[in-house]
Chain A
Amino acid sequence: MLIDANQALSNTEQTPIDELVRKVQQGDQQAFEQLYRKHEKRVYGLCLRLLASPEYAEDVTQEVFVQLWHKIAQFKGQSQFSTWLHSVTSNIAISYLRKHKNWLQKVVSIEGSGMNEQSVDMCHGLNGLDKLVVRLPERARLVFVLHAVEGYRHEEIANMLGMAVGSSKSQYHRARQLLQEWYDNE
């Protein structure tokens, strides 16, 4: 049965996350909508920073919550729900990027680029730093978002992205250099 989005949002503010998660694990779709309303902006924000494309970010946000519905039984409460959700989101976004490389990018390992300045201006919701982050080349952007924004260690990032720890560190350094250069020239 459907419920009004505003009502779902209102209920969200009243129901603790643990309680919502428990209800969703029992198959409660209303509770799941509340959980979605509570986390949609955070998940979409992470997707947009990682993917540098509003269209991809929307696709992946939907994919995250569809997978969440099917996998929420696996959440045993060892970590905070939001931490677990961010981990699921990051992995799905990275996997999505891999799948959506075109054949030429896959064959010759061309790195994906970031948004151009014109697209950044048309993309709503980005703050000052975000506007620079989405312009970064793909690998530098992924490492910067996962390390600086999401707080992952370089060892974890290396594992997630299938690169050496040293490469993760150098991509982070590269990202900071580019960000500073763009910031100073603004």
Chain B
Amino acid sequence: MNKPDFEQFLKESLEQTKDIAPRRDLWKGIENAIASAPLEDKQSSYWPKLTGIAACLLAGLMAWQVVLNQPQQNTMTNMSAFFEQQKQSLLVQYEAQPALTSDWQAQLAELESAEQAIKAALQSDPENAALLQMLAQVYQQQLDLINKVHEPRWQQI
């Protein structure tokens, strides 16, 4: 039997059912999440997250101020000092709050190794704008990760 041409194959395939069953029952995780986080309690849980997001945004803006306004100084050192302060603030803020995954510190270590690689490259070219941008983004990733794993909603799944 001849294979149908592509257009016919496409038409027939798109008309078929779009259902695919997941490999496992996902309901249990959903049930746990919605049972443990009733709507009224969710309102207050937004505040730590909002605070974290605001801190990240502020950190990003301040970092670019450092990059744009202080080209004569050691930009990498200034940026690093600023982000390290932000990171420590977040870690202190979430100290008493359990994290979603147990391996988040390994993920953080991976980002920190990327940070070290970029810093090493900056040693030989301290004002390289592309490297500075990469460094800022890696710092931002670290702050996002810390926020993400401490986000209350995900802890329930």
Contacts and interface: CB of A to CB of B under 8 A. Distances in A.
Interface stretch (B24-32, B61-69, B73-81): B24-32
B6 A183 contact: yes
Contacts of A42: 18-19
Interface string B1-37: 0010010011001101011111111110111011100
Interface string A26-38: 0101001100110
A119 B79 CA distance: 42
A128 B13 contact: yes
Interface in B112-137: 114, 133-134, 137
B26 A103 contact: no
Contacts of A128: 9, 13
A131 B25 CA distance: 23
B141 A45 contact: no
B20 A33 contact: no
A125 B24 CA distance: 13
B106 interface: no
Given A41-B20, A45-B18, A106-B137, A5 B25 contact: yes
A144 to B, nearest CB: 10
A32 B20 CA distance: 20
B22 A40 contact: yes
A66 interface: yes
B34 A54 contact: no
A106 B114 CA distance: 13
A110 interface: no
Question: Which of B9, B18, B24, B133 has its CB near the most chain A CB atoms (within 10 A)?
Answer: B18
A21 interface: no
Contacts of A44: 20-22, 26
Contacts of B133: 107
Contacts of A54: 22-23
16 contacts: A2-B31, A32-B34, A33-B27, A40-B21, A40-B26, A41-B20, A48-B20, A57-B22, A58-B23, A58-B24, A69-B33, A103-B137, A129-B9, A130-B13, A148-B14, A179-B10
- List 7 A-B pairs, minimum CB-CB distance, nearest first: A129-B13, A41-B19, A45-B20, A125-B20, A69-B34, A180-B6, A66-B33
